Amino acid sequence: MLRSFSAVMLAFVLLLPLYPSKGHSMDIRDPENTLIMTLKDGDVVIELLPQVAPKHVERLKQLAREGFYDGIVFHRVIDGFMAQTGDPTGTGMGGSELPDLPAEFSQEPHIRGAVSMARAQNPNSANSQFFIVFDEARFLDNQYSLFGRVIDGMEHVDSIKKGDQRANGKVDDPDKIIKMIVAADK
């Protein structure tokens, strides 16, 4: 009995590091390519994919380091689809003062937790707005520049206030990004 209890405890201790505790205390593999986005309910950890969309990753890191995203609202949130943010005007029509980015489309799948750049009809019009996918949305593959994946805290994304489905997800009194940083700067 004692031997089996000891074996169970040893297994528990060895496996414990594989299960992150609340927050973002998980082992971040590449802090320079990881964003930590603080929302009202907790932190969301986003692994950036510079091998897939290098220009978009650099833009997000630059804007995060400038504090651009701090206080910006989730202006468009469609239940079962995605939460969109990154517009300083909160209307869906704004962006940063930096030039728009050329598309970096890929076959990376738009599945739950995918983080992609929003854009206008012109595929080369992404600037600062991005969205996080709630559920699989493979129809977006190779049409939007996917640059990251939520690796921790997706439950906090799930709790972002949803918008009116009849108004294309427009949110009244929207939730916001409290702070967004590059993990290496923490």
Measured CA angle at 73 (ends 68, 77), to 5 deg: 130
pLDDT category at 11 given cuts 50, 70, 90 is: very low
pLDDT at 135 over 50: yes
Average pLDDT for the chain = 89
Q: What are phi and psi of 56, to 5 degrees?
A: -70, -40
* The predicted structure's pLDDT at residue 10: 39
The residues, any chain, with a CB within 8 Å of residue 12's CB and separated by 6 or more, are none
Token digits of residue 119: 């854009």
Domains of the chain in start order, with CATH, are: 26-185 (2.40.100.10)
pLDDT mean over 150-172: 96
- The pLDDT of residue 174: 98
Residue 186: pLDDT band (50, 70, 90) is confident
The per-residue pLDDT for range 22-37, each reduced to its tens digit, is 444 556 899 999 999 9
Q: What is the spatial distance between Cα 94 and Cα 130, in angstroms, rounded to a whole number?
A: 12
What is the C-alpha to C-alpha distance for residues 98 and 59, in angstroms, rounded to an integer?
Answer: 9
DSSP secondary structure string for all residues of the chain: -HHHHHHHHHHHHHHGGGS--SSS-S--S-GGGEEEEEETTEEEEEEE-TTT-HHHHHHHHHHHHTTTTTT-B--EEETTTEEEE--TTSSSS---SSPPBPP---S----TTEEEE---SSTT-BSS-EEEESS--GGGTTTS-EEEEEEE-HHHHHTSPP-BGGGTTB-SS--B--EEEEGGG-
The pair of three-digit structure tokens given for residue 97, joined into one six-digit string: 């003062």
d(CA 79, CA 161): 9
**Beta-ladder partners of 164:** 170
**For residue 136, what are its two tokens?**
């699989």
More confident residue, 166 or 35: 35
pLDDT digits (tens, 9 = 90+) for 74-91: 999 999 999 999 999 999
- pLDDT at site 26: 59
